[in-house]
Structure 1
Amino acid sequence: MQSYATFHDLKDKNVFITGGGAGIGAALTEGFLTQGAKVAFVQRSDASEFAEKMGDKYGQKPLFLPCDITDIDALKAAMEQAAAAHGEIDVVVNNAANDQRHSLEEYGVEDWDKSININLRPHYFTAQAAAPGMKKKGGGAIINFSSASYMMGNAGYSSYVASKAGITGLTRALARELGPDNIRVNALVPGWVLTKKQLDMWATEEDLKAHLDKQCLKEHLVEQDIVDATLFLASKTSRMMTSQALVVDGGVVMTG
């Protein structure tokens, strides 16, 4: 993995990542390992082989904890296991999400609840679980993955778009509540990152061209672009940044 910067203060930090065994999440796990951090991650699908590969490559195997993040008790138990293995958690990265496409008329109550239970609810409860340990250690960082899709007002997956807007609001509220304990809470807002899933499921040639036309920078985003921004928010390099939404999208949406 190519890394554009080394954040020395992340060495030996205890990092917990949701969805850390595939796509952007797998790149995040590897990115933190390159910094010398101790990583634990949850993933619903089997990521044992990935964890072994990372251990062989970096000499420090990430702790893979099988978990469905819609089961909050299981998610909290996984965080307790991570803390027992590595010490109290320093950094939480709420990455896991599902951007399943759907229309308004086809979506029922159960579908809606399932989407929110994946895309928004876990962010609240990981913060709730990690905050006491962070407070004990004198601070920490929580990074909530939002999406530029809500700023663009994208159609075709409104439950996902709504949850990603909710993440920004939650981030600001938690930053205010946890700031006195030196716990920073920021949202990272990726644009369209061309993971294998995106390429396999959604990325038609026509859509790719149309999206690139909207970007200021005429190059599609890849996982590494999101990794470096996440490392920055986790590091004390950004120590006075909290309650912010950092957009990494090649220049499609604007903030401020």
Structure 2
Amino acid sequence: MPLSLCILETDILPPDLAERYDGYAAMFIRLFDTVSIDVTFSVFNVVNGEYPADGTRFDAYLITGSKADSFGTEPWILRLKEYVQERYHRGDTLLGVCFGHQLLALALGGVAERAAGGWGLGVQRFDIVQSYAWQSPPLQDVSLIVSHQDQVTSLPPNAQCVASSDYCPHAVFVLDDRVLGVQGHPEFTPDYAYQLLVKRQSSFSPERYEQAVTSLERSHQGQVIAQWMLNFILERSKVRSIT
């Protein structure tokens, strides 16, 4: 039986990017389709107020990235935080990427804020500092495409750091074996990351921009992280079926 994944999409791409890349939910679906685990997807754009009907259950809920700040006070962000807290207290499996990673940390007692070191851009390497069975295939470090000016600066109580770098100490975390947050973007392609850099070029120094563009020539393990994410969900769904 396939896993059921609810994707809570937290952004709407501008028309020129949407025409080529659709949106973040579509990027994740394309990525997960490369992993040999059967998954069905249900997409809800929470910026537009879309949520699953009451009583609908999924094996996991994935919160995507967004240009918004996870600590923002827009009504849709506050509602999403409440929804995440409700799902957590019901025992559901939750995953978040970039904005979603930060929002999970905030909703569950951590801190997310502007990064003191400025933007994280391009392909960045992170050391794996904690290993679990779902991290298969195993890696000692992982490279991911990143694009963020905020980050988690304090983990929720009892959360464990899984991957770290000097710039981003809490790049991946887990909580209670059913919450997984990833700061990087496994769903991004180098081409999409480049288009974002071009759009935001005025926000960076010329040197920082060129470094980020050049870094996109390096390999990244987005597909491995996708495998880990589905392994994480699968492991948790087996535990739930037993209990």
Which band: TM-score by shorter chain? 0.3 to 0.5
Structure that is richer in helix per residue: 1
TM-score by length of 2: 0.47
Structure that is richer in strand per residue: 2
